[in-house]
């Protein structure tokens, strides 16, 4: 998903004097920057839920203490809200790059913010933990939107034959970082010391930032440009609104604390509701825009089907770091073929499977296309939903086996993560593509941010269920989510002709 904000990026200098695997040398700078940033992000994420429950009743037997001793329900809610905010922040992150700082300066600031966030997590204490979590979410949003755009700046426009290959190499860097992080950060954090693990995540971001700053001259000069800078009047208006909003929020929460009624839900519930309301509001605003012609209005209506389907998908998929992680920690055997390993290692399966299977899927779609048998976008979305639902139906089996305290084979989770990865490969790349194709001209860049909002909506749905007291680690709710995904997939397939009509000439 990291390359999703690049489709409409303009070209800059190709940097032909020195190359990196046949590509502009700046690609190496961005490759290693993003690899280390993903190392820090996924390393911290692998520890997050386990740290939250550590020391409490829902922690695995024999696990180290030193965590925040929260329940699994609360930990899942915090995890879901955190992940949703990372993707929600990508929209304002892109705005800052376009209107305030430019892509290069925004990425630099984001790197320092992320590093400060991980450093805060390395300090014991609940207050510093939430400060760190907020900083990492904001920094990741700022970086995510802009570093991908900078990849696009390296090439001579959308028709540069090296462009797709460049993004493929960049995507490999993302998955290399995501694969290595749970093995290193996860192992140290889970088996040695939680805060030392978070500190390693800070080191990872520090390495990425050092790489970015040391070789920044290899990047396109276009990345230093602010494409649409704020006017003095817009800047004044914005600062006034931010100041007033900050004062109102501070007064409100100050009163809540003074009255002695503050709990964590006073923070989590408003954020979660915002994560659901904002995506809906953005889609409604676009849909009601009178500047759109009839064809564009139709395409937006068709896109809503894909958006809702994606939200259902990510609602289940992103529980790989919460519900599945807790099951791995407490109810799954920690050895296979005589090799013992920590529960965080399961978080390396998805990027491993992506690197192994993505080329296979690319070849398969091309082979089917040559025979005019490639499934269209609607069918691929339906397949993804049915598959992600099937992964949770499979999950019910080891959950039942472990109900009496038996620890199940790790291969159950390996199978579930593989099914979910196959589903992701049917939906995520296709979703990015259909978003660019169906976007109204007026919203060509913003619609890519809307795609991220589907992740926000899905994760906030999970968070809201947890905040309502629903135990997402129960067999009943797992079966319900599986059925929801399967029904959603069936619905898209049944109404595929109607959706295709709304899509117009997009296939």
Kindly report the three-state secondary structure assignment for every residue of 264-302: CHHHHHHHHHHHHHHHHHHHHHHHCCCCCCHHHHHHHHH
Identify the residue whose tokens are 């399967």: 486
| Residue-wise DSSP of 123-161 | S-SHHHHHHHHHHHHHHHHHHHHHHHHHHHHTSSSTT-T
The pLDDT value recorded for residue 146 is 87
Alpha carbon distance 198, 51 (integer Å): 10
CA angle 115, 117, 122 (to 5 degrees): 95
> Residue 188: CB partners within 8 Å, gap ≥ 6?
196, 197, 200
The pLDDT value recorded for residue 8 is 40
* Phi, psi angle pair for 110, to nearest 5°: -60, -40
Closest to 505 measured CA to CA, from 274, 257, 295: 295
> Residue 31: CB partners within 8 Å, gap ≥ 6?
20, 169, 170, 172, 173
The pLDDT value recorded for residue 12 is 42
Alpha carbon distance 453, 322 (integer Å): 20
The pLDDT value recorded for residue 14 is 41
HSE-CB at 150 with a 13 A cutoff on CA atoms is 35
Q: Which domain holds residue 163?
A: 1-229
Q: Are residues 169 and 248 in the same domain?
A: no
Instruction: Please check the confidence at residue 106 and state whether its pLDDT lies above 50.
Output: yes
Instruction: Please check the confidence at residue 340 and state whether its pLDDT lies above 60.
Output: yes
Instruction: Please check the confidence at residue 2 and state whether its pLDDT lies above 60.
Output: no
Q: Are residues 147 and 216 in the same domain?
A: yes
Please write the tens of the pLDDT for every residue from 9-48: 344 444 445 777 788 889 999 999 999 999 999 999 999 9
The pLDDT value recorded for residue 41 is 94
Alpha carbon distance 486, 148 (integer Å): 33
Please write the tens of the pLDDT for every residue from 276-330: 999 999 999 999 888 888 888 999 999 999 999 999 999 999 999 999 999 999 9
User: Which of 262, 278, 308 corresponds to the end of one domain?
Assistant: 262
Q: Are residues 471 and 454 in the same domain?
A: yes
CATH number reported for the structural domain that contains residue 429 in this entry = 1.20.1250.20
Instruction: Please check the confidence at residue 354 and state whether its pLDDT lies above 90.
Output: yes
Sign of CA dihedral 95, 98, 103, 106: negative
The pLDDT value recorded for residue 31 is 92
Q: Are residues 152 and 301 in the same domain?
A: no
- Structure token pair of residue 434: 């259909």
Q: Are residues 295 and 200 in the same domain?
A: no
How far CA 281 is from CA of 296, 305, 457, in Å, comes to: 18, 16, 12
Least trusted range by pLDDT, from 9-13, 15-19, 61-65, 427-431: 9-13
The pLDDT value recorded for residue 79 is 95
The pLDDT value recorded for residue 6 is 39
Highest mean predicted confidence (pLDDT) among 56-70, 188-202, 460-474? 188-202
Instruction: Please check the confidence at residue 445 and state whether its pLDDT lies above 90.
Output: no
- Count of structural domains, the chain: 3
- Structure token pair of residue 444: 């060509």
The pLDDT value recorded for residue 470 is 87
**Across 204-219, average pLDDT:** 94
How far CA 195 is from CA of 28, 70, 75, 204, 205, in Å, comes to: 31, 17, 17, 14, 15
- Structure token pair of residue 402: 């472990």
Instruction: Please check the confidence at residue 1 and state whether its pLDDT lies above 50.
Output: no
User: Which of 185, 209, 229 corresponds to the end of one domain?
Assistant: 229
Q: Are residues 326 and 349 in the same domain?
A: yes
Q: Are residues 211 and 249 in the same domain?
A: no
Q: Are residues 437 and 460 in the same domain?
A: yes
CB 91 within 8 A of CB 145: yes
Closest to 10 measured CA to CA, from 175, 227, 233, 191: 227
Mean pLDDT of the chain, nearest integer:
89
CB 392 within 8 A of CB 318: no
Q: How confident is the model at residue 448 (pLDDT cuts 50, 70, 90)?
A: confident
The pLDDT value recorded for residue 18 is 75
The pLDDT value recorded for residue 159 is 66
The pLDDT value recorded for residue 3 is 40
State the pTM of this model: 0.89
Q: Are residues 338 and 314 in the same domain?
A: yes
- Structure token pair of residue 266: 């006073």
Please write the tens of the pLDDT for every residue from 220-268: 998 898 888 889 999 999 999 999 999 999 999 999 999 999 888 888 8
CB 68 within 8 A of CB 52: yes
Distance of CA 400 to the CA centre of its chain: 30
> Residue 315: CB partners within 8 Å, gap ≥ 6?
458, 459, 461, 462, 481
The pLDDT value recorded for residue 5 is 38
The pLDDT value recorded for residue 507 is 66
Q: Are residues 244 and 301 in the same domain?
A: no
Alpha carbon distance 419, 400 (integer Å): 19
Distance of CA 164 to the CA centre of its chain: 21
Q: Are residues 180 and 240 in the same domain?
A: no
CB 104 within 8 A of CB 224: yes
**Across 355-378, average pLDDT:** 89
How far CA 462 is from CA of 79, 323, 403, 458, in Å, comes to: 10, 10, 23, 7
The more confident residue out of 449 and 446 is 449
The pLDDT value recorded for residue 115 is 96
How far CA 99 is from CA of 51, 137, 224, 494, in Å, comes to: 38, 20, 12, 43
Least trusted range by pLDDT, from 120-134, 135-149, 298-312: 135-149
Quick one: 39 exposed, middle or buried, by C-beta within 10 A (0-12, 13-18, 19+)?
Answer: buried
Q: Are residues 345 and 241 in the same domain?
A: no
Residues for the chain: how many in total?
Answer: 507
CB 182 within 8 A of CB 344: yes
């Amino acid at each position: 998903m990291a390359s999703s904000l690049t489709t409409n990026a303009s070209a800059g200098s190709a940097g032909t004097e020195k190359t990196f695997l046949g590509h502009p040398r700046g690609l190496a700078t961005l490759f290693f920057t993003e690899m280390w940033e993903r190392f820090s992000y996924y390393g911290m994420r692998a520890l997050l839920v386990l740290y939250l429950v550590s020391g409490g009743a829902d922690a695995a037997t024999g696990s180290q203490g030193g965590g925040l001793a929260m329940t699994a329900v609360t930990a899942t809610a915090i995890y879901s809200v955190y992940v949703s905010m990372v993707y929600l922040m990508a929209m304002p992150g892109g705005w800052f790059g376009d209107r305030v700082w430019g892509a290069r300066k925004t990425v630099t600031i984001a790197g320092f913010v992320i590093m400060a966030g991980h450093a805060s997590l390395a300090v014991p204490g609940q207050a510093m933990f939430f400060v760190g979590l907020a900083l990492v979410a904001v920094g990741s949003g700022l970086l995510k939107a802009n570093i991908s755009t900078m990849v696009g700046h390296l090439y001579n426009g959308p028709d540069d034959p090296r462009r797709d290959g460049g993004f493929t190499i960049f995507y490999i860097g993302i998955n290399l970082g995501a694969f290595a992080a749970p093995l290193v950060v996860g192992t140290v954090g889970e088996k040695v010391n939680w805060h030392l693990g978070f500190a390693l995540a800070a080191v990872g971001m520090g390495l990425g930032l050092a790489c970015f700053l040391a070789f920044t001259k290899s990047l396109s000069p276009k990345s230093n440009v602010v494409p649409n800078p704020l006017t003095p009047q817009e800047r004044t208006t914005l600062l006034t609104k931010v100041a007033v909003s900050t004062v109102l929020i501070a007064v409100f929460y100050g009163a809540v604390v003074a009255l002695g009624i503050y709990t964590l839900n006073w923070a989590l519930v408003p954020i979660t509701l915002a994560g659901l309301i904002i995506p809906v509001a953005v889609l409604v605003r676009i849909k009601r825009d009178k500047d759109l012609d009839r064809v564009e209005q139709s395409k937006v209506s068709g896109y809503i089907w894909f958006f809702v389907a994606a939200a259902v998908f990510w609602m289940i998929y992103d529980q790989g770091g919460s519900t599945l992680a807790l099951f791995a920690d407490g109810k799954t055997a920690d050895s296979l073929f005589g090799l013992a390993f920590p529960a965080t290692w399961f978080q390396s399966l998805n990027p491993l499977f992506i690197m192994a299977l993505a080329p296979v899927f690319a070849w398969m779609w091309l082979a089917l296309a040559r025979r005019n048998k490639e499934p269209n976008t609607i069918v691929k979305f339906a397949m993804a939903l049915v598959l992600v639902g099937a992964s949770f139906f499979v999950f019910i089996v080891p959950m039942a086996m472990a109900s009496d305290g038996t620890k199940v084979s790790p291969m159950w989770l390996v199978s579930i993560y593989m099914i979910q990865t196959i589903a992701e490969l049917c939906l995520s790349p296709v979703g990015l593509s259909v978003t660019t194709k169906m976007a109204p001209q007026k919203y060509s860049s913003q619609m890519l941010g809307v795609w991220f909002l589907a992740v926000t909506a899905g994760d906030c749905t999970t968070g809201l269920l947890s905040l309502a007291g629903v135990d997402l680690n129960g067999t009943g709710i797992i079966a319900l989510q599986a059925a929801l995904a399967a029904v959603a997939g069936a619905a898209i397939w049944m109404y595929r002709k109607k959706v295709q009509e709304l899509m117009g000439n997009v296939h």
